[in-house]
Structure 1
Amino acid sequence: MVAVFNKDVLSWYLITIKLREAVDANLQKSPPPPQDLPLPLTNGAASPPPPTPLQRRQPEQDRPPRSRAQSPAHSPKPQDSEWVIAIRGKLAQARAEEAACPWARLSVYRVPKCLRDGEERAYTPQAVSIGPLHHGRRRLREMDRHKWRALHHVLKRTGHDVTAYLGAVRALEDRVRACYEGRAAGMGSNELAECLVLDGTFVLELFRGALDGGKGFVDDLGYSRHDPIFAMRGAMHAVRNDMILLENQIPLFVLDLLLGIQLGNPEQNGAVASLAVRFFDPLMPTDAPLLRKDRSKLESSVGAAAAAAAFDPLSDPMLHCLDVFRRSLLSAGLQPMPPPPARLWLKKWSGLRRVADKRRQQFVHCVSELREAGIRCRRRNTDRFWDIKFENGELQIPRILIHDGTKSLFLNLIAFEQCHITDIDAPGGNNITSYAIFMDNLINSAEDVKYLHDRGIIEHWLGSDAEVADLFNRLCDEVVFDINDSYLSGLSDQVNRYYDYKWSTWVASLQHNYFSNPWAIVSVVAAVFLLLLTTMQTFYSAYSYYRPPH
């Protein structure tokens, strides 16, 4: 028994040794585990291991030649690292975006940071959000319940189901997203459709109810006379100011579709533009209201689908309400003045002058300097505030009304002209900017504002003349502008040539120093009379000396 037992133990011992040798042999064949983990790159891919000392010392000419198939530029894509694969994906995305060319349909922009620094409030809605860019902001949610009331009134009045509006808007989703900078990517399809229907219906109710002094809210749309929003109370002023902001817009074709469904003609277009002009009339920077015939056209446009073209500026396709308002400001065919022949050669250098530099935006001298050169300012009797003329040393400027919303209005109009490049390149694409820079040049101080106010050119409701001067001086900060493409370019040359004419400067200096008041005039006349008497006395004395009487 003992011998057998020892034999069994020996057999198990030999088997164990064989298994251990087999395990050791497998371990020697496998590569050793890495001692140090490589540092990850920013995108999560592992970095290559550092070169060995031998590799660092080996010169380039001693290394074995690398074949074309092994070079990094021609390595097969399956061997690319995760980092290179991520870069290829970004390039593919850029290529697809470039092929889609979304900028051709952009119309609702985010105001560039360089323009909004220090003027954040002028570009941000304070009472109501319209469209997806400011949708859901906590401080603006209070107005949402009034939007739902407006939608309820529309459905009750028309007998439609809400799905008719939602389905029609969802069919335009791709077209709508292309209109917004950032393509409203943060919103899903359902949320975007709900936002457009809710906000668009709210806007249309305001447009339609504001006709005839706000009586339409009660008589035609069925709202209470005591409604906090739809009764033309104080809140309407803040709502109207918010609806003209660049970032607070809905594409006009969406509003036309929603109004068409309400009127039973989804194919109509143009009626919303007519309503918008009438609604935003109180924001016009002039105290001249719409003509009575134009107002009657606008008020009758709701009942007929053929009311698309109330007047010429609204005959072409428009983008949104801010674009409609801007075109109504520039109505009656505003065209750039052709530059004089001496300035034509500068056109080819205009690209070099598109810089945000105040020194390169100098149109004319300020009012005080123009007065010293004999150039007078006079009010021009027209309701087109931009229609400036210069004749016989007289600068004729239409009256402009400055109120608490004028600054925000002009800032958003200028921002739209800065962002909408295709419109700027066309004639008349920067006319609001041209006017603002021209007035900025004219006004340097409160004294300049006072002079223009005394001439009936500037009427303002602000605290002081200094605030008006500061308003114009800050409108075009960081604005990229080419004075050669301005409609006021030719007029500026005329004013500057007259300013450089020395005789007019001498006459103006004489008037300023010796004819500024009645007593100065009397003194000058008396001095001239005494000078004449002295001259006559000297003459007769010399005459009597050389020809004495006989």
Structure 2
Amino acid sequence: MVAVFNKEPVDFLRWYLITLKLREAVEAGIPNLRGTPISARSIELSEAPQHQQPNNSLQIVVNGDGENFAGETNPSDSEWVISIKEKLEQAHQDDAADSWAKLCIYRLPHYLREGDDKAYIPQIVSLGPYHHGRRRLRNMNRHKWRSLHHILKRTNHDIKIYLGAMKDLEEKARGCYEGTICLSSNEFVEMMVLDGCFILELFRGVAEGFKRLGYARNDPVFSIRGSMHSIQRDIVMLENQIPLFVLERLLGIQLGQPEQKGLVAKLALLFFEPLRPTGEPFIKSDGNSLESSLVCTTTFDPLGDQGGLHCLEVFRRSLLRTERGPVPSISSKKLSHSNRVADKRGQQLIHCVTQLREAGIKFKIGKTDCFWDIKFENGILWIPRLLIHDGTKSLFLNLIAFEQCHLDCSNDITSYVIFMDNLINSPEDVGYLHYCGIIEHWLGSESEVADLFNRLCQEVVFDIGDSYLSSLSGQVNDYYKHRWNAWRASLQQNYFSSPWTIISFLAAFVLLALTSAQTFYGIYSYYRPG
């Protein structure tokens, strides 16, 4: 028997009736309790009416030890096995060979996001599914619809033509993105048409002129001024990409040439020209018709022999456009993961500028503006000019992130950035490179430039042996180890660094020679007076 006491004045008759019912239930042998020992029974009684508060309900759970316990309902074994089989089937689909072949637009890994989120997350406009629908980016949607309206009005096309073309490319486009895209078929197709046409209007406006496309001179978005620089930074981000074949199809429909290739890549390079961290412009425009407005300054093909993936990848390849020496093959890159290290000490290619100068190494600006064109000859390190502005950090971080995520590409940009990070350890290093004309920056101070490079590759996983600069770094380190080079450099810096020190050194040398001659003749005349 279970006795329940309440310190507050209650009707003891209620508890007496509960006790009687409990005893009658035990003695009557309720069917669902017959197979269970009384010591392990769980009895729940409720005497409170439904209109009363829950605290008037009584629940009594009795076990063998006199302690309360709560039972738990588990799913049946069949449902459990079915759920596991469904997960295995999903894993089989994810592990299919063609599920990774088209993947080229990635979500940033968490270890890279720990640096600066603003460098990876768009601030004005969202493109693609990763940031689609963000509240603070919705203001640009009305301008996207305006761009689509201008295209339809200018070409006299029906919107069904563009929707049908994107329907045909939907599966291929979804395969370019990492993870599951939680958008319906209609939503995904609408997003591709809207975002793709918006990008193409920006590209064509920079190449031909927005006025020629029908936009007002003071348009808040479709003009060279205003927020164009911020839009350029957003469009070059890895998580904000649209597959290049989508843009090619949309532009082909506008021009009446659905199968044309290569024009979007050239438009992208012209659009991203202000973000280039090198010297001469890569694409020149004369502002006339679209086809004649693009004149490539070199023989570089932005698509090459494998086709462009997206605008960021095309921009990356333009920075590495000229032929150079042999580089590690992709297969060797994939096999070298066991040798990769994330420790900054393991990524030391060469010493900093100050230490190399003490060893007699000189720095001169390179003859080209290509990142890879770094040479070391006769104690002189030739480095191409680098322009640093407020968008350089975001550009480098997204380029590095793409090389970290996409295995079917080299790590040349990462190698270059780590090489420059090794050279720059202090504002003095930046100041000397600026003096040599190698670095030009529009930041507040040289310490900001040094801090920028020191933070770019903090969490980057990198294999030194897979770098195209590893051989050059070995030559520089061998030159650095010879003590004679350091002694000669010290002599030059201390005694031949300026005309006055040279004159002082020559005067001291002449004085020493005269003193020696005087001493010699004094001794000689002493022993041989005649």
Calculate the TM-score normalised by the size of structure 1: 0.80
Paired with 1:347 and 1:145, the residues of 2 have a C-alpha distance of: 45
Q: Letter of the aligned partner of 2:116 in structure 1?
A: E
2:197 matched residue in structure 1: 201
Change (3 A) 1:262 1:349: closer
Paired with 1:105 and 1:259, the residues of 2 have a C-alpha distance of: 21
1:225 matched residue in structure 2: 217
Q: Deviations over 1:362-408 (max 9, x none)?
A: 11100000010000111123222441111111111111110010000
* 1:379-390 alignment runs, 5 A limit: 379-390=365-376
Query: 2:361·2:381 contact (CA, 8 Å) conserved in 1?
Result: yes
Change (3 A) 1:83 1:520: same
The farther-off stretch of 103-112 and 407-416 is: 103-112
Is 1:323 equivalent to 2:347 in the alignment? Answer: no
2:425 matched residue in structure 1: 444
Tell me, what secondary structure is at the counterpart of 1:180? coil
Q: 1:251 is matched with which residue: 237, 240, 243?
A: 243
Q: Letter of the aligned partner of 2:375 in structure 1?
A: K
Q: Deviations over 1:419-454 (max 9, x none)?
A: 00122xxxxx11110110000000000000001111
Q: Letter of the aligned partner of 2:41 in structure 1?
A: Q
Paired with 1:331 and 1:253, the residues of 2 have a C-alpha distance of: 21
Query: 2:269·2:282 contact (CA, 8 Å) conserved in 1?
Result: no
Q: Letter of the aligned partner of 2:75 in structure 1?
A: A
2:100 matched residue in structure 1: 103
2:49 matched residue in structure 1: none
1:73 matched residue in structure 2: none
* 1:57-456 alignment runs, 5 A limit: 80-184=77-181, 186-212=182-208, 216-219=209-212, 221-290=213-282, 292=284, 295=285, 302=291, 311-316=300-305, 317-336=307-326, 350-423=336-409, 429-456=410-437
Change (3 A) 1:392 1:107: same
Deviation, structure 1 residue 109: 0.5
Tell me, what secondary structure is at the counterpart of 2:238? coil
Q: Letter of the aligned partner of 2:300 in structure 1?
A: F
1:524 matched residue in structure 2: 505
Q: CA RMSD in A?
A: 2.9
Q: Letter of the aligned partner of 2:207 in structure 1?
A: L
Query: 2:207·2:290 contact (CA, 8 Å) conserved in 1?
Result: no
Q: Letter of the aligned partner of 2:347 in structure 1?
A: Q
Paired with 1:496 and 1:378, the residues of 2 have a C-alpha distance of: 18
Change (3 A) 1:246 1:347: closer
Deviation, structure 1 residue 299: 6.8
Change (3 A) 1:544 1:251: same
Change (3 A) 1:299 1:445: farther
Q: 2:471 is matched with which residue: 482, 490, 506?
A: 490
Paired with 2:233 and 2:465, the residues of 1 have a C-alpha distance of: 32
2:525 matched residue in structure 1: 544
Change (3 A) 1:299 1:132: farther
Tell me, what secondary structure is at the counterpart of 2:447? helix
Change (3 A) 1:347 1:260: closer
- For structure 1, list consecutive stretches of 5 or more residues without a partner in the other structure: 1-23, 47-79, 339-345, 424-428
Paired with 1:121 and 1:181, the residues of 2 have a C-alpha distance of: 21
Paired with 2:94 and 2:303, the residues of 1 have a C-alpha distance of: 32
Q: Letter of the aligned partner of 2:447 in structure 1?
A: A
Deviation, structure 1 residue 25: 12
Paired with 1:334 and 1:130, the residues of 2 have a C-alpha distance of: 34
Paired with 2:32 and 2:415, the residues of 1 have a C-alpha distance of: 82
Deviation, structure 1 residue 303: 7.0
Paired with 1:152 and 1:355, the residues of 2 have a C-alpha distance of: 51
Paired with 2:283 and 2:101, the residues of 1 have a C-alpha distance of: 36
Q: Letter of the aligned partner of 2:344 in structure 1?
A: K
Query: 2:122·2:237 contact (CA, 8 Å) conserved in 1?
Result: yes
Deviation, structure 1 residue 485: 1.3
Q: Deviations over 1:436-474 (max 9, x none)?
A: 000000000000000111111111000000000001111
Change (3 A) 1:351 1:107: closer
Q: Letter of the aligned partner of 1:45 in structure 2?
A: P
1:7 matched residue in structure 2: none
Tell me, what secondary structure is at the counterpart of 1:523? helix
Query: 1:126·1:242 contact (CA, 8 Å) conserved in 2?
Result: yes
Paired with 1:285 and 1:477, the residues of 2 have a C-alpha distance of: 21
Q: Deviations over 1:491-523 (max 9, x none)?
A: 111111111111111001112222334443333
What is the number of equivalent residue pairs in this alignment? 470
Tell me, what secondary structure is at the counterpart of 1:172? helix
1:508 matched residue in structure 2: 489
Paired with 1:301 and 1:88, the residues of 2 have a C-alpha distance of: 54
Query: 1:443·1:472 contact (CA, 8 Å) conserved in 2?
Result: yes
Change (3 A) 1:400 1:304: closer
The farther-off stretch of 314-323 and 283-292 is: 283-292
Change (3 A) 1:337 1:416: closer
Calculate the TM-score normalised by the size of structure 2: 0.82
Q: Deviations over 1:102-157 (max 9, x none)?
A: 22211111111111113000001011111111111111111111100110011111
* 1:462-477 alignment runs, 5 A limit: 462-477=443-458
Identify, as 1 or 2, the structure richer in helix: 1
